Structure formats: C-alpha cells, structure tokens
Amino acid sequence: MRRLLPLLIAAIVPLACDSGGGDEPEPPRPAPPPAITRAELAEHLAALQQVADRNGGTRAAGTPGYDASAGYVAARLRDAGWRVERQPLPFAYFRLRSASLSIDGRRLTRADDFQVLSYSGSGRAAGRLHAAGLGCAPGDFSGLQSGEIPLVDRGQCFFRDKAAAAERAGARAVVVVEPVLSTRGVPSGTLAVPGVRIPVVVVSRRALGSAGDGSAASVSVDAVTRRGRTENVIAETPGGSGERIVMAGGHLDSVAGGPGIDDNGSGAATLIETAEAIGPDPPGARVRLAFWGAEELGLVGSRHYVKSLDASERRRIRAYINIDMVGSPNAVPALYGDGAPELAAVLRRAAGSPRLRSVTADSASDHAPFRDAGIPVNGLFTGATERGPGGRARDACYHLACDRLRNVDPDVLVRMARTTARAVEALAARAQAK
C-alpha cells in the first residue's frame, strides 16, 4: 500500500459511527467458506516469500520477483477454473544505483536511517540544512539561501509537491523528516511519477537526532528512471449470468526494499482463496479479480486498467472491493469508512462479530481509479504505521525488509479472507438480481 502525504489512512473512528446507531445488535458471524483455511493461505504466502528470497528479497514491479509472482497467481487462478488475462502494463521503472546522506559529519545508513524516494533525481548537494516547515505553503521556501538544503516535515501534501516546490526555489536536494514509529528502518516511498530532477531523501527523526536547522549536510543520489513493462493479472469466472460484473482486487507488487508479504501478499493470498471458494460458476453475476502491478509506484496498474475500459465496460462493474494489507501483526480489522455505504453494509454482514472498524482510505490504494470513474468502491484493511493495540504500530515492518512471512497474523488473515469471499459472493448475487 502506498503511504503518500498527507497521511491517507486515518485513525479509527468510534464504533458508534460505523453503524449509525449504537443500539444495533451485533450480527452473527456467517459460517466460513470451507475452502479458506490457514494452511491454504499460508501456502500462498510461503510461495511469495520464496519468490522474493530467490530474487534479491523483493517482488517490486519490473523485477524478476514480480514476474514470478504474476506467474504464480495466474497458475493458481487457472487451476481454480477461472479465465486469466495477463494485461501488459507500461510504466516508468526506477533503479537506485547508490546513495549517501551525511549530517553533522555522521554518515547515515540507507534503509536503517534514510531512504531515497522512487523517481528521485540524481545529483550531489552539500550545505547547511534550512528548516522549511511542511514545504507545502507558497512561502515555505522563501528564506532559502543559495547552497542550503531544505529540511521539511512529512505531512499535509504529497512528497512530489514538496520536492517540486523546493526545486523551483533553487534547492539542489531536499530532505524530508519521517516520524518513524518502528526502529527497524525507514519505509520506502515514492514521488509517484518521474520529473523531479534533484535528489529527494527521507530521514527518520531518530537518525536525525539533535541535528536540524543549520546543521551541515551532504546528499548524493545516483539513480535512473527508464521506460519498462510489467503486467496486471486479471481473472474472471467463465460462469455467471447477465452483463453485470462484481470486482475485487489488490496490488501484487512489493516495494523495492522488501518482500511485501503483508503489503500485499496478504491481499494476493486472499484473492486466490476467494477465487477457489467462489469457483468458476458463481450463482449470480460474473466475478472478476485483479492483481495490480506497480501500485507502489503510484497506482499505475489500476489506473491503466480503468483507463482501458470504455464507458459501457465501466458501467458493467457494479462494485469494486479493494484488498490491501489484511494480515497486519498488530491488526485493527477495518473497512473504508469513506467508501460506498451500501458496500460497507455488505462487508459488515460478511464479517459478522466483532464489528469491523472504519478508516479513511482517500486515494491511498487501488480503489481510487474505480471511485474516480464513478464505480462504487470499498475495501478491507488491517493497518500500516498507524498506532494499534498497546500504542504500537499496526505493522512495524510496513515497507521494510522485515515484511516477511512471519510478519503476517494468520488468524487475522483468515478472518479477512473469509469476509472477502462472503462479501464478493453476496454482491454477485445482488448484482444479478437487480
């Protein structure tokens, strides 16, 4: 899942807001689809972990690890009797060759202390840090002197907006401060699209220490952005009646810095098991499942797919459910509170008790292109860096190398996978009936 600025996945809203009425009794939990078990979900996660282990620890778009991941899910969906298309996807591939960051003479360690944002420009800069607030307002860089490197806080606007504003102000690099909850490293991030020509790095507050405005700093980034190709994997039931379609999907790629087993191997495993539980001939409308490429680089796969549909094809899609990070180790199981209310009701019924919480998803994941095209959307999510039970991050390995098989809570994942299958099946029945 992409964690762009401003922070797009918000804190939990009170439970009373979930239902619109605090006196509503808890619905009973439906019987689980027998096909979805911990063992089968674990099999898919282990396969994706093995793919990453064999390919430099990553399943990022444009890498052999992603290609192998796409091959795995396509084979499993064909085995389940679904029709599978591997849609070619042009995208801008970012490759980081080397990077360094020193502050007050201390050489920091990439991944542990700082990260280079995808689509950062290349170059070298040395000078004094200049505190520029959030870097979002027109006047934030007005006091920047020649040779100074702006130091901006994370929040309020996108990374790209901060970087572009700094570049326009004459900066030769920009440093963003990340208030990382985890001590395990700095999460990967992206500028979403190429175009910024200066180095853009994110440093953790912990690594920054007492340094700040006026501290000496040097930044060096050697990176290249080139045109490449990856793919979306799209599967559809051969059976199903009528012209209407119900969709669910989630991204298949990881960030470059890790294997992405919660983010979003958990979603991929859920969708594979949903396909096996529903089968190739659902009692209702056709069902289509999607595994998106290059989500971590800016929702590239889902945007491309929605743009490829003509108006009549878009109208056929009656609902889209997004599955992104559904096995977090310190989970708060939730649905998208800003999604379509009618889909939220279906998800709540499918989940049973305990009731799903609500999060504000905004444009943080692959539901956004569907929403923008006028298609009703909602989704499931169990948490990233937000504070969860005990005040700890819901997933302390978000966008890090430690997002491995052991990072996923199998009981949470089983619940969310069964909820997905029940909800998709119910939506297909409802779409066919209308």
pLDDT digit string (tens) for 308-318? 999 999 999 99
Quick one: DSSP state of residue 254? B
**Could you tell me if 41 and 183 lie in one domain?**
no
Please report, for the domain that includes residue 143, its CATH number.
3.50.30.30
Both 53 and 135 in one domain: the answer is no
Considering the domain architecture, whether residues 395 and 278 belong to the same structural domain is answered as yes
**What is 358-385 written as a DSSP string?**
EE--TTSSTHHHHHHTT--EEEEE--SS
Is residue 343 domain-shared with residue 376, that is, in the same domain? yes
Cis ω on the peptide bond leading into residue 6 (within 30° of 0)?
yes
The per-residue pLDDT for 320 is: 98
Residue 107, in any domain of the structure? yes
Q: What 3-state class would DSSP assign to 60?
A: strand
Residue 138 has a pLDDT of: 86
Give catalytic status of residue 295 as yes or no. Answer: yes
Residues 6 or more apart whose Cβ sits within 8 Å of residue 241: 284, 285, 286, 432
Pick the last residue of a domain from 178, 194, 226: 226
| Ramachandran region, residue 33 (left: φ > 0; alpha: ψ -120 to 50; beta: rest) | beta
Last residue of one domain, picked from the residues 226, 257, 288: 226
The two most distant CA atoms of the chain are separated, in Å, by 68
Based on the domain organization, do 153 and 287 belong to the same domain?
no
Nearest CA-CA partner of 148 in 170, 168, 165: 170
Q: Scan for tokens 């064909």, then name that residue.
A: 78
Identify the pLDDT of residue 179. 85
Q: Tell me how many domains the chain contains.
A: 2
Q: Quick check: is 232 in a domain?
A: no
pLDDT at 432: 77
Structural domain contains residue 47: yes
Report the alpha-carbon angle 10-11-12, nearest 5: 120
70 lies in a domain?
Answer: yes
| 98 and 45 fall within a common domain | no
Torsion region of 374: left, alpha or beta (phi above 0 gives left; psi -120 to 50 gives alpha): left
Shared domain check, 114 and 72: no
Whether the per-residue pLDDT at 434 is higher than 50: the answer is yes
1 part of a folded domain: no
Angle at 122 between CA 121 and CA 125, to 5 degrees: 110
What proportion of the chain, given as a percentage, has pLDDT over 90?
87
Please give the residue range of the domain that contains residue 37. Answer: 15-82+237-433
| Cα–Cα dist 34/226, whole Å | 46
Prediction pTM value: 0.86
Q: Are residues 23 and 160 in the same domain?
A: no
Please give the average per-residue pLDDT across 1-26, as a whole number.
Answer: 36
Question: Which residue among 226, 255, 275 closes a domain?
Answer: 226
Decide if pLDDT at 101 tops 70: yes
Residue in 167, 231, 276, 295 annotated catalytic: 295
Average pLDDT, the chain: 91
In this structure, the answer to whether residues 243 and 151 fall within a common structural domain is no
42 and 180 in a common domain = no
- Same domain for 297 and 215: no
| pLDDT digits 0-9 by tens, 318-360 | 999 999 999 999 999 999 999 999 999 999 999 999 999 999 9
Q: Please indicate, yes or no, whether residues 418 and 276 belong to a single structural domain of this protein.
A: yes
Sign of CA dihedral 120, 121, 126, 130: negative
CATH code assigned at 261:
3.40.630.10
What are 37's two structure tokens? 């078990």
